[in-house]
Structure 1
Amino acid sequence: MFELLCSITMFKLLFSTFCSNSAPGSSTADSPFWAAIVKEQTKVVEIMLDNGQNPNEHFMKHTISPLHFAAQKGNLELCKLLIEKDANVNQRTNDTRGLVPLHFACARGNLPIVKLLVEEGNADIEVANFYGDTALIYALLENKKLDIAHYLVTRGVRIDQINFGVSPLHIIAEKGDFALCKFLIDNGANVNQKADACGRQLTPLHIACFKGHLQIVKLLVEEGNADIEAADSNGDTAFSLALKKLNFEIARFLLGKCARFDRVDKTGHSPLHFVAVIGNFAFCKFLVENGANVNQKTTDVGDHMSTALHFACVNGHLQIVKLLVEEGNADIEVATSNGDTALFLALKKRNFKIARYLYDKGARTDWLRLLDAVFTPLLIVMLVVGIGSILFINRLHFD
């Protein structure tokens, strides 16, 4: 005991001398204070602090403060000492992330240190790093320990806090973690909150549909009562987003929940237009049988106000063409804003089987003989697709 007391006394003397010869607030890798911090020598750290050592000294190499280090290491005793000696609990790391000690504690899943920082250090539970991540986000994503997330909620953390355009529920919906998503919903997260994700005003349901997370979609709809008809800034609903990402299981689920399938986006594209483009026969049949408007035109100038039949002809989907015509009674003579009919589009794309089918169904061909203008349909076909189409047309007239 006597030797220990002598050692401590000698250390106090040496440290006092060091402090008197060092610049105030100096921060170097050779700092005795940081050597004691790194070795987690709490008693030595206490002596230094009692002799005027700055508790917030950053370690040059790691850009962190002593409290950051202690929180990261999970050293409750050292954290408590630093807080008692007026360490700044909201001090950020000196780097591009800007983390506070609470972020480290939440990421490490250390509930006692989280409580210490909040209850004794009055740490700001809402503070976000420079990328918008809060203590709640770290608790949910880094260690997935709901005890810390639950504690933060009981302390009044804003569960719908928007940072960098998104809320915690948006982030979890994108990650597809069922347990965390359920936790947020059970604690009152706004399932219909829109956030500026990817430049569009998306709800968590939109994101889950886009990413293909079926179980998250079911959770949001069945337990969160998410609005399945809410549209993003492009006019897309959850159903249309699921279709566009080819997440057909989700699309079927939403249809089972009475999602409207005749909604159009801002360019006038309907779900039927989309399935006609990709050639999904089962979905096209479902939409046609349930009353989708097969003659509805887009309003997009780039698509020349096309119908589902036009899209099917352009993309060479013969079975879709037959379905639209025979079961949907699609108008085979309706033209795009360019004046192109289904037959003409099929010829342009050299989809001769479709062209023959349309001819057999009575598609008009008399317009092909009009040669009184420079750019007649016949001449355009010659220029665009060559002699193959002309031979086909001749067969139509001379069979």
Structure 2
Amino acid sequence: MDPLSIAVAVSSLAIATARVSNSIHDIAGKANRANTTLTAISAECAIISSTLGQVEHLVKADPTAFSSKLTDAAHNDAGVPSLGDNLRNALESCDVTIVALSDTVDRCGAKTGRTLLGKAKFLWNEAELAERLQTLRGLNQALTGLLSAIQADSLTNVRRILSDNTAALETMVRRSRTYRKKYVPSILTGAEVTLFEFDDQVVDSPAYRRAFNSFQASTGSRTLVNDNETRREDASFVVVDHHKPEKKTESQSPSSVPASLPVREVATPQTAPDLSNPDQKALSEKLFAAVRDVKIDQVKSLCSQGADISARNAQGFQPLHLAANNGSLEVVKALVSYGANIEATTNDNDGMVPLHLACREQKTPVALYLIRTAGANIHVQDKHGNWPLNRAAIKGDLQVIKALLAAGADLECVGYLGWHPLHHAAGNLHVIATQLLLSKGADIAAEAENGDSPLHVAAEFNAAAVADLLISRGAELDAINHAGDQPLHKAVFKGMTVTIDLLLNKGADIEAFESKGGTALHVAAEQGTTAAAELLLARGARIDAINKSSNQPLNVAVAFGHFAIAQAMIAKGADIEARGAGGWSAIHQAARNNRPEILKYIISKGAVLDPRADEGDKPIHLALRWHHLPCVKVLVEAGADIEAKGQYNQAPLHIAAEISNTLTVEYLVSKGASITSYMDNDQPLHRSARVDKAENARILIRAGANPTAVNKVDVQPMHLAAGLGHINVVKLLLEYGVPIDIEDIPVPSTSDSPQPPLVRCAGNGHPKCLEFMLSQKCNIELASANGDTALIVACWNMKAECVKLMLKARANVNSKSDNGYSPMHCAVKKGSVEIARLLLETGRCDLGLRNADGKTAVEYAESEGKGEIGELLKGWKGTGVGLIDL
């Protein structure tokens, strides 16, 4: 079979299948008890019809590419059916299956003595019905696989897909053979197809091209419909019903086209496009230029010379896309007459067919031609999800909207963001288009993806006239979208005062809660829509309304920095001391969110300077925690308490020393903040040491802070910095004369075990800081009060990197703490083979040392069940060369 024969055969089967589907649908619709099974059969038939339609479209769109896949030498060599063989089998199977199913339907209809319910029961009880359904499902699966193979981009993928679908294809053939015993396939026999010898080159011949273009012209606008109201049949070929005799009249012949389908005259190019010809690219470029410049004669001439009308430019447009986009009607007609594919999509981010483009650019004459004359598919979505009717509604193009609806466009087609055409018309301020859609029955309460109704959209985009129309037609003022917003909130969100006024006049509830539990005034306060806020205040909106966070509108306006709205609210009597979430008043919000101008204004209106929030912070603490020096200055200049204690018992300078930059610390020190005040245990300098804020510490020391001051648990800044590995603060303290070998400073958790800085650093595992401290010629054997040296503590805490550094510094590997633990005993206790090996490799480790229990390291390992370390110690024969010599 050649592509033309296949296209005609597929078309015949698609129509016959759709007819059977509709017949069964009629019966199912009139008999409720039979609905489930019969509807399933009808649905399977509809899917098969749709699949066949897609196959037809692919064949007609690019017969050359299609023909290259039909016969595959690799399949023939392996004795495996090719795509062409499988497709022939599928079409024949479909033919006999539909014939069998038609017989079942006709036998049901022939029992005229029964009621409709009786007929349905007849079908319902027939065992053959279940068998027919299974056959249809198998056929559907096989056809779907073949469709995927046709769409494949390489022969390799064709082979793979056919292989994956072998079982379904074989089952399809077996079932059709069973049917052939009783039924004779007859649908395809009536198709007027001229068969001829077909090879790889024939499809590119001018004769074949003319035949194929003629076929496209006669069938391009055919639409398969599966409903009870509209059914079209393409009479460009004969579909034979083997039960009903064919009726002909003088006005209708097998080759005539129904009046509902326009005939497209197709011009014949003198030569077919030769894609291998280098001149073809030049022809295509000239064609694009002629289309762009609307030179109709050149367009026709180039097409007749064989210019490729399916070529694409850099934007992914074919010539027809460009013409439709530019609104060149005569060029569009010429291209269509030469066989341009009106269903081709652009290869870009939009994925539009020519009809989409004409609707998008409001090229009304082109759109009308494509719909009414060229037979463009009106049921196609672009990559954004929009259908042609959505595009027309966006532009408010009344003529195109009417034409699309007359052609059967879905009035509720869902496009981008889940918008229906009515949403698009409403959101784009098209009053008359909105009125037209409503008059055609558009759902006034249709929901978008976010639950917005058309009235929500009109309100959001300030389409007051559209909103008025929608309300007059019954749109709900209090409709709620998925977020909980009403149309009034959408209008306030965008500051659309005209629409706000309209909605309020129509009865919208000014105090209705929105998605965050606030009123419309809260929305205006957050979004900063000043005019909307002023309008709401003038219309009596409650100024003390509370949202889910317990905040009044003033708190919200201050938090988001909308000064004008805050002023308007205070002028209307808003309470500046009202507490919201966390016990914050307006002054807390201003300080936290760095609103210095609003802060000044609130203070000028008498706001309390130091109110304490629920967690203990005052405004100055919040400003410091969030690094808002401008607000700190406003508060201090206004008289805020610079020593006030907030959360964690912190004074302002404690917070600044720990988290702020140097400018803030300098400012507070310059204003007399105490450098010796305590927050629980620490002074400000200790806070800087804890977080390695060396420059803040420098400012504090220069201001008089004692670099060796102990906190309330007797810890100095040097111990804190070393224990935390903060090398910058360690260097700073050394710069100011703090000795690195400070002794007898107790550890807070064990006050009877003082630890020098080096012991803290090594024990906590900070190798970089430890390396620096060792470079300062510190006493590496300085021990804590219980005799723990830095090496012992590092071994106990298994800080291998620090152990290496201490050993390189020639720390005593045989030192013992007061309880008799040597470094090796520590390694054994912790089970660290790595550290034990490091100690052994020094060559200085005395394995005869005994702990307080009188046990050597080997004996201790045995008593502790540390077998691996015990074996290591017993068998050690190391040279002691390596680490010690580095």
| TM-score greater than 0.5 by the shorter chain | yes
Instruction: Supply the AA of the counterpart residue of 1:125.
Output: I
Q: What residue in structure 2 maps to residue 228 of structure 1?
A: 675
* 1:218 aligns with one of 666, 673, 676: 666
* 1:40 aligns with one of 497, 500, 503: 497
Q: What residue in structure 2 maps to residue 297 of structure 1?
A: 745
Contact 2:621 2:652 survives alignment (8 Å): yes
Q: What residue in structure 1 maps to residue 512 of structure 2?
A: 57
Separation (CA, whole Å) in 1 of partners of 2:638 and 2:722: 42
Going from structure 1 to structure 2, the CA distance change for 1:263 and 1:46 (only over 3 Å counts) comes to: same
SS at match of 1:172: helix
Q: What residue in structure 1 maps to residue 587 of structure 2?
A: 136
Contact 1:294 1:324 survives alignment (8 Å): no
Q: What residue in structure 2 maps to residue 362 of structure 1?
A: none
Q: What residue in structure 2 maps to residue 4 of structure 1?
A: none
Choose between structure 1 and 2 for higher RCO, CA contacts under 8 A separated by at least 6 residues: 1
Q: What residue in structure 2 maps to residue 264 of structure 1?
A: 710
1:325-340 pair list within 5 angstroms: 335-337=784-786, 339-340=787-788
SS at match of 2:843: helix
Q: Deviations over 1:81-132 (max 9, x none)?
A: 5445543211122x3x333211333245443432221232x21212343244
Q: What residue in structure 1 maps to residue 643 of structure 2?
A: 192
Offset of 1:344 from its aligned partner?
A: 5.2
Contact 1:382 1:390 survives alignment (8 Å): no
Contact 2:718 2:738 survives alignment (8 Å): no
1:228-247 pair list within 5 angstroms: 228-233=675-680, 235-247=681-693
Separation (CA, whole Å) in 1 of partners of 2:823 and 2:501: 94
Offset of 1:153 from its aligned partner?
A: 0.5
Instruction: Supply the AA of the counterpart residue of 1:68.
Output: H
Q: What residue in structure 1 maps to residue 570 of structure 2?
A: 118
Instruction: Supply the AA of the counterpart residue of 2:545.
Output: Q
Instruction: Supply the AA of the counterpart residue of 1:156.
Output: G
Q: Deviations over 1:5-51 (max 9, x none)?
A: xxxxxx99x999x9xxx9xx9775697866876742365366457xx
1:66-145 pair list within 5 angstroms: 66-72=520-526, 74=528, 78-93=532-547, 95=548, 97-120=549-572, 122-140=573-591, 142=593, 144-145=594-595
Q: Deviations over 1:226-283 (max 9, x none)?
A: 11112222x1221111112111111111110111223334443221213443373523
Instruction: Supply the AA of the counterpart residue of 1:105.
Output: A
* 1:158 aligns with one of 608, 621, 624: 608
Contact 2:524 2:533 survives alignment (8 Å): yes
Separation (CA, whole Å) in 2 of partners of 1:322 and 1:283: 15
1:19-34 pair list within 5 angstroms: 28=480
After TM superposition, the score normalised by the length of structure 2 is: 0.34
Q: How many residues align?
A: 349
Computing the radius of gyration from Cα coordinates, the structure with the larger value is 2
Q: What residue in structure 2 maps to residue 181 of structure 1?
A: 632
Deviates more, 1:70-79 or 1:255-264: 70-79
Deviates more, 1:30-39 or 1:77-86: 30-39
Separation (CA, whole Å) in 1 of partners of 2:586 and 2:478: 30
Going from structure 1 to structure 2, the CA distance change for 1:310 and 1:69 (only over 3 Å counts) comes to: closer
After TM superposition, the score normalised by the length of structure 1 is: 0.70
Going from structure 1 to structure 2, the CA distance change for 1:125 and 1:300 (only over 3 Å counts) comes to: same
CA RMSD after TM alignment: 4.3
Contact 2:524 2:530 survives alignment (8 Å): yes
Separation (CA, whole Å) in 2 of partners of 1:342 and 1:33: 71
Contact 2:658 2:688 survives alignment (8 Å): yes
Contact 1:295 1:307 survives alignment (8 Å): yes
Offset of 1:216 from its aligned partner?
A: 1.0
Going from structure 1 to structure 2, the CA distance change for 1:335 and 1:90 (only over 3 Å counts) comes to: same
Instruction: Supply the AA of the counterpart residue of 1:134.
Output: S
Separation (CA, whole Å) in 2 of partners of 1:346 and 1:73: 57
Separation (CA, whole Å) in 2 of partners of 1:15 and 1:87: 22
Deviates more, 1:345-354 or 1:160-169: 345-354
Contact 1:264 1:271 survives alignment (8 Å): yes
Separation (CA, whole Å) in 2 of partners of 1:322 and 1:34: 68
Offset of 1:138 from its aligned partner?
A: 3.9
Q: What residue in structure 1 maps to residue 163 of structure 2?
A: none
SS at match of 1:99: coil
Contact 2:756 2:782 survives alignment (8 Å): no
Offset of 1:376 from its aligned partner?
A: 5.8
1:320 is the counterpart of 2:773: yes
* 1:310 aligns with one of 734, 755, 759: 759
Contact 1:318 1:354 survives alignment (8 Å): no
Contact 2:511 2:519 survives alignment (8 Å): yes
Separation (CA, whole Å) in 1 of partners of 2:582 and 2:628: 21
Separation (CA, whole Å) in 2 of partners of 1:104 and 1:183: 21
Q: What residue in structure 2 maps to residue 252 of structure 1?
A: 698
Going from structure 1 to structure 2, the CA distance change for 1:320 and 1:140 (only over 3 Å counts) comes to: closer
Going from structure 1 to structure 2, the CA distance change for 1:175 and 1:391 (only over 3 Å counts) comes to: same
Going from structure 1 to structure 2, the CA distance change for 1:108 and 1:28 (only over 3 Å counts) comes to: same
Separation (CA, whole Å) in 2 of partners of 1:213 and 1:300: 29
Offset of 1:292 from its aligned partner?
A: 8.6
Instruction: Supply the AA of the counterpart residue of 2:497.
Output: E
Separation (CA, whole Å) in 1 of partners of 2:738 and 2:819: 44
Going from structure 1 to structure 2, the CA distance change for 1:275 and 1:106 (only over 3 Å counts) comes to: closer
Q: What residue in structure 2 maps to residue 7 of structure 1?
A: none
Separation (CA, whole Å) in 2 of partners of 1:274 and 1:71: 47
SS at match of 2:631: helix
Q: What residue in structure 2 maps to residue 380 of structure 1?
A: 825
Going from structure 1 to structure 2, the CA distance change for 1:379 and 1:78 (only over 3 Å counts) comes to: closer
Instruction: Supply the AA of the counterpart residue of 2:689.
Output: L
Offset of 1:173 from its aligned partner?
A: 1.4
SS at match of 1:392: coil
Q: Percent identity?
A: 19
Separation (CA, whole Å) in 2 of partners of 1:308 and 1:318: 13
* 1:202 aligns with one of 650, 665, 673: 650
Q: Deviations over 1:172-195 (max 9, x none)?
A: 212223322222221222222222
Going from structure 1 to structure 2, the CA distance change for 1:155 and 1:247 (only over 3 Å counts) comes to: same
Going from structure 1 to structure 2, the CA distance change for 1:343 and 1:55 (only over 3 Å counts) comes to: closer
Offset of 1:206 from its aligned partner?
A: 1.9
Going from structure 1 to structure 2, the CA distance change for 1:285 and 1:389 (only over 3 Å counts) comes to: farther
Going from structure 1 to structure 2, the CA distance change for 1:290 and 1:187 (only over 3 Å counts) comes to: same
Offset of 1:159 from its aligned partner?
A: 2.6
Going from structure 1 to structure 2, the CA distance change for 1:68 and 1:263 (only over 3 Å counts) comes to: same
Offset of 1:64 from its aligned partner?
A: 2.8
Deviates more, 1:152-161 or 1:162-171: 162-171
Separation (CA, whole Å) in 2 of partners of 1:187 and 1:180: 10
SS at match of 2:550: coil
- Any stretches of 5+ residues in structure 2 without a counterpart? 1-466, 797-802, 830-834, 847-886
Separation (CA, whole Å) in 2 of partners of 1:377 and 1:28: 75
Separation (CA, whole Å) in 2 of partners of 1:255 and 1:295: 22
